[in-house]
């Protein structure tokens, strides 16, 4: 079937639909996490490897000191909702983080392996936070 000149002209006026891919998850995210019975400040640093999996580190306010930890993703099921394994001096567990499409922030829940993730852990790119 051949397009008529009128149909061809109409098609050329319709802008091409582009579905933009979300940018990589990378950067320093300033936020809060539930720890020790209260919300504490946490800085989460993340990068996306060549395999598309996230790795990083974090540091949270812990009784007047900063406690470091590491994060690693072993399997990617979804572009926006990611499951990471955290490790620090208190043990290991899961962080389920849901990123917005701009990758400027995430909302997450964490827990150790004895329970489902239910504790808050969130972040906003530090350069978006006043004084970050």
The DSSP-derived string for 50-61 is TTS-EEEEEEEE
For the segment 12-40, what is each residue's pLDDT rounded down to a tens digit?
444 444 456 678 999 999 999 999 999 99
Long-range contacts of residues 39-46, Cβ cutoff 8 Å, at least 24 apart: 39/120, 42/121, 42/123, 43/123, 43/126, 44/71, 44/121, 44/123, 46/71
pLDDT value of position 11: 43
pLDDT classification of 7: cutoffs 50, 70, 90 = very low
pLDDT at 132: 54
Closest CA to 70 of 51, 47, 52: 47
What confidence score (pLDDT) does residue 6 get?
45
Q: What domains can be seen in the chain, in order of their start residue?
A: 24-128 (2.40.128.120)
| Residue 128 pLDDT class (50, 70, 90 cuts) | confident
Share of the chain above pLDDT 70, in %: 81
Predicted TM-score (pTM) above 0.75: yes
- Paired with 123 in beta bridges are 106
Average pLDDT, the chain: 87
pLDDT given for residue 2 in this prediction: 52
């Amino acid at each position: 079937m051949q397009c008529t000149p009128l149909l061809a002209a109409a098609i050329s006026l319709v802008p091409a639909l582009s579905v933009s891919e979300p940018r990589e998850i990378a950067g320093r995210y300033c936020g809060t996490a539930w720890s020790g019975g209260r919300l504490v400040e946490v800085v989460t640093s993340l990068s996306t490897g060549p395999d598309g999996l996230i790795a990083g580190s974090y540091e949270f306010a812990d009784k007047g000191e900063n406690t470091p930890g590491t994060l690693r993703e072993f399997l990617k099921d979804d572009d926006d909702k990611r499951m990471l394994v955290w490790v620090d001096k208190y043990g290991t567990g899961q962080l389920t983080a849901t990123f917005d499409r701009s990758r400027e922030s995430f909302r997450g829940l964490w827990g150790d392996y004895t329970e489902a993730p239910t504790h808050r852990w969130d972040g906003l790119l530090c350069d978006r936070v006043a004084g970050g």
